[in-house]
Amino acid sequence: MKEQYFKYSILPALIFLMAVPAVSQEGNSSDYSTVDASNYCGKNISAYREFFMINLYQYAHEPWLKVFEDCPGSSEKMYVDGVTMFHSFIDSTSAGPAREALIDTLMLIYDRRMEYFGGEGNVLGRKGRDLLTYRGDDIKQIQDAYDMLKKSIELMGKESGEAVMVLFISAGVSLNKEGIIDDNQLMEDYLTVIGILGEPEVRTPRWERARVAIEKILTEGNVPLCEALNNYFDPQLEQNRSDTTFLHNVVFTLKTSGCDSSGTYMAALEDLYNIEPGAGSAHDLAILFIERNDLEKAAGYLGNALQDEDTGTESRAEWYYELAVVSLAIKDYCAAIDAAREAIKLKSNSGKAYILLGDAFIASRGNLGDDFKQRTAFWAAADQYQKARSVDPSVEAESSQKLGEIAGQYPGSEDVFFNDIKDGDRYLVAGCINENTTVRSGNLP
């Protein structure tokens, strides 16, 4: 039973620690003695340091121990060096009482350092890390380490190290599996960490690696992150629909965690939009509703996004194109035609907008009247397909294919004759197409 704590939760975090650069353990002072240190303390500090500097820890240990026991306030660096030495002693000692005694001393070093030199937030992070490293197969020790790491993060805030936050979540997953902390507490811990990692000044190159490591720990711990976050936020959402701070937190957390397709995310984003409307958030909502195949709502939000004329030309052209696509899909053909034309006005070389305009012409032909008039829509569509391939080589194949497919749909020569027109004449296609085109009968291009 003990082994699974290390296997499923602590191990990924320790792998993360091995992947990141070592963090300096130096304290606030680089002096090895203070004005309070006696000659006795100074001599022993010098003695242990001579051996320590050349990695002869077995010889450094005795004078170091004298300083630790008799001169605890003489040097903060002594505690940092002690941690280094005891790491070496523990790693070279087999499991058993002797090794456990060394680990106890290591924990005491951290406690004594805090007692004489403070720095509780920093030191607790290191102590919790080592406790998980050396006793991560004992759930009681994991709980103690969790408490240390939690306190460290509370004290350090955005100064917390990525490794501390990764290990904190790792310990939390182990405790959650044993029922010691519930799902809500685990999510609160996760939110704390993600909130710190999301601070702009905290986003170092290691930030993404920390986030990935945390998500891996949750996955390997069989924690369904999105489900857990939704369960955490859902009960709070109804009571906080006008709380912008809360809504921003929900939106940021779910998006950062890859849970931005959930109903909770969309509800929070809609509530936030109602309070703080904006083109960008309206467009985000439109895309989400497209993904959920709620095209009526998507069209509404795209329309809202396009009301802001301060949006850049490139974005507005793309948004109009998206509105044309959605409108065509919901069979609002006139709206699709209008949106495609707006996209072309903003970006005259948009081949895909010309193609969509041609498609909308054909789709709307049922509103034109008799069969002859409906078939004139194919002339207008052909003009758009030809324009598409002339302005945008990337759509040439698609345009040519469409031209070939619709050529057989043009009015026949007899129909052209009986409508008192001839090939080559100008002809106004009616309805919301409202487009001048060229008469061409049969299979004329």
Q: How confident is the model at residue 206 (pLDDT cuts 50, 70, 90)?
A: low
Question: Which whole number is the average pLDDT over 262-275?
Answer: 92
Question: Which whole number is the average pLDDT over 363-388?
Answer: 96
Q: To the nearest whole number, what is the mean pLDDT of the chain?
A: 89
List the structure tokens of 187: 């999510």
Q: What is the pLDDT of residue 27?
A: 41
Domain boundaries, the chain: 2-224, 350-445
Looking at domain 2-224, its CATH architecture is Alpha Horseshoe (1.25)
Question: Which whole number is the average pLDDT over 309-320?
Answer: 94
Q: How confident is the model at residue 267 (pLDDT cuts 50, 70, 90)?
A: very high
Q: What is the pLDDT of residue 209?
A: 82
Q: How confident is the model at residue 122 (pLDDT cuts 50, 70, 90)?
A: very high
Q: What is the pLDDT of residue 38?
A: 62
Q: How confident is the model at residue 255 (pLDDT cuts 50, 70, 90)?
A: confident
Q: How confident is the model at residue 78 (pLDDT cuts 50, 70, 90)?
A: very high
- In this predicted structure, the answer to whether residue 292 has a pLDDT above a threshold of 50 is yes
Question: Which whole number is the average pLDDT over 271-285?
Answer: 92
- In this predicted structure, the answer to whether residue 414 has a pLDDT above a threshold of 60 is yes
- In this predicted structure, the answer to whether residue 40 has a pLDDT above a threshold of 50 is yes
- Model pLDDT for residues 210-237, shown as the tens digit of each residue: 888 998 899 888 888 889 899 999 999 9
- Model pLDDT for residues 330-345, shown as the tens digit of each residue: 999 999 999 999 999 9
Question: Which whole number is the average pLDDT over 180-205?
Answer: 82
